Structure 1
Amino acid sequence: MNYSLDALWWKLTDSAVRDLASLLTAPALWHSSKELPVQDLLGNRGFRLLLALDQHPQPLHQYLSVHAPFGKRLGLYAEKLLAFWFDHAPHTELLAHNLPVPAADRQTVGAADFIVLLNGTPYHIELACKYYGSPDHSTDGLCGLNRQDRLRDKAAKLHRQMMLLQSADGLRALKQHDLPARIQTASIIRGMAFFTDGITAFEPPLNPYAWRGLYLPDWQQYRFAAQPHARYCVLDRMAYLSPARIPESETLSAEAVQQIDSGLVAVLAQRPDGYWHEIQRLMKTETDASSHQTPSPIF
């Protein structure tokens, strides 16, 4: 699925609102078996609220400024965006954020991302935002630009986090903070999977409808000529959440973008609003100098 082509991105212009909208509406990257449905997260008025917030984003900007700087910590930024939503959407109520769970010896064993009322029902919600690519077409090989960051490890950690409040320590923490003991558990998993060209099916636990991009170990594998009018930008880590929308002055030519060794790169097309909008995303990894094979071109 190319989530960057969703009609929503023609409407929203504020970068923070776009990031919030992505957290609320993007497909899950992988299945945890406890995904929070988008309709529950958005509520009946969700899209109208996002459009209104885009017109008057000052409350969101002010909220984020209180918690800034985020120090390149994308997960922390994403948490604050969701905390704002849970604190302001009419169908939600934020009861706790980053609730610490101490053991009997008072050593902290973990923290719950969110305790929220959704339409009156209490939820423990865990958030994950990950960007993984695989050079060998396998789900097991999916990892980030930091190759120590692997999907299989993160999925296992997320499962443990979702079980945290069902433990004796977790139940005790809920009681100490006068929070509901009978609580549902859910996940919000966002991000992208990057594969080399030609992969049409995802292996479990990946969501077959996940936002996907192109894994690119060598620039020679990309047919720039097939996109003669495209521009490019190298995405800052804090700009991963939503599809890029940038002025032409911040874009790069095909020649310039090929100078980077690694990173996430947005392929851009100009739209009637005058801005350049993301139409595809690439994960460019460092070229393996030990490989002497000339890769076949892909697009």
Structure 2
Amino acid sequence: MNYALDALWWRLTDPNVRDLASILTAPPLWHSGCELGVRELLGEAGFRCLLALDSNPEPLQQHLAQEAPFGHRLGLYAESLLAFWLNTAPHAQLYARNLSVRDDNGQTLGALDFVAGLNGRLYHIELTCKYYGDAEARPSEMVGLNRSDRLTDKAAKLQQQLAWSAAPQGQTALQAADIKPENITRVSVVRGIGFAAAAATWQAQPLNRYGWHGLYINHTQPWPRSDGLDARYYPLPPLHLLAPARVPPVYALTSDALDEVAYGQVARLELRPDGCWHETARIMRAKAV
């Protein structure tokens, strides 16, 4: 699936609002078995709220400015975006964020990303945004640019994080925050992109065959380039990965610029009537081993 072609990206223009929209609406990269549905997360008025926020993004920008700097840590930025939504969406209430779980000696064992209400139902929400590649789309071989960052390890860790709210120590933490632990539902929000060779299939569990997919190339392969004049490219900085790229002409580079990009993610762009260049495909090139 190429989520970058969703009609939503023709409407939203503010970069932070686009990133928030991706957190709310993108398909999960893999199945955790307890995904929080887009309908529940977005709410009935969600699209109207996003369009209104796009017209007046100052509240979101102020929130992010208060929590910055994020450095190159995409996870912190994504958590800040979701926290804003859970604090401001009409169907949501944020009760706790990064709620620490400790043992009897006060040592931290873990944390609950979010405890929030959605349409009156209480949730423990774990958020993760990951970008993994393997030419054959084999879950056991899918890694990030840091090859020690593995999909199978993260998927297992996510299950451990979700379990904290059911553990005695987690229930004690919830009670201390005046939250009734017996009423909580444990859910995940898994976002990101899976990268594979063009001929790969996306059948292996736990991968989502309908997830957001891109093209994976190893460090010895050249960047794929368009022969025509209708394409440009944008090397994506670490905090610009969440949503499909929308860049003004000055940042839309010709294919020659790819010679300077050793590894990372690059968005392939096409010009649209708004005068900006929009992502139509995502490419990940691995680091040299």
Aligned to 2:213: 212
| Matching of residues 146-185 of structure 1 within 5 Å | 146-182=146-182, 183-185=184-186
Query: Residue 223 and residue 123 in structure 1: after superposition, are their counterparts in 2 closer, same or farther (change >3 A)?
Result: closer
Aligned to 2:128: 128
* Deviations 1:132-161, CA, capped at 9 Å, x for gaps: 001344221000000000000000000000
> For the Cα contact (< 8 Å) 1:234–1:263, is it kept in 2?
yes
> For the Cα contact (< 8 Å) 1:122–1:180, is it kept in 2?
no
* Deviations 1:45-88, CA, capped at 9 Å, x for gaps: 00010000000000000011000001111101100100000000
AA of the residue aligned to 1:245: R
AA of the residue aligned to 1:83: A
Aligned to 2:10: 10
> For the Cα contact (< 8 Å) 1:139–1:202, is it kept in 2?
no
> For the Cα contact (< 8 Å) 1:110–1:161, is it kept in 2?
yes
Q: Secondary structure at the match of 1:165?
A: coil
Which portions of structure 1, spanning 4 or more consecutive aligned residues, are displaced by more than 4 angstroms? 218-223
In 1, distance between residues paired with 2:154 and 2:238?
A: 18
Aligned to 1:68: 68
Normalising by structure 2, report the TM-score: 0.97
In 1, distance between residues paired with 2:175 and 2:224?
A: 59
> For the Cα contact (< 8 Å) 2:26–2:212, is it kept in 1?
yes
Aligned to 1:271: 272
Query: Residue 218 and residue 229 in structure 1: after superposition, are their counterparts in 2 closer, same or farther (change >3 A)?
Result: farther
The alpha-carbon deviation at position 225 of structure 1 amounts to 3.8
The alpha-carbon deviation at position 250 of structure 1 amounts to 1.1
Q: Secondary structure at the match of 2:267?
A: strand
RMSD between aligned residues:
1.3
In 1, distance between residues paired with 2:76 and 2:223?
A: 33
The alpha-carbon deviation at position 218 of structure 1 amounts to 5.0
Q: Which runs of 5 or more structure 2 residues have no equivalent in the other structure?
A: none
> For the Cα contact (< 8 Å) 1:135–1:141, is it kept in 2?
no
In 2, distance between residues paired with 1:242 and 1:88?
A: 21
Normalising by structure 1, report the TM-score: 0.93
In 1, distance between residues paired with 2:146 and 2:287?
A: 11
> For the Cα contact (< 8 Å) 2:269–2:277, is it kept in 1?
yes
Q: Secondary structure at the match of 1:140?
A: helix
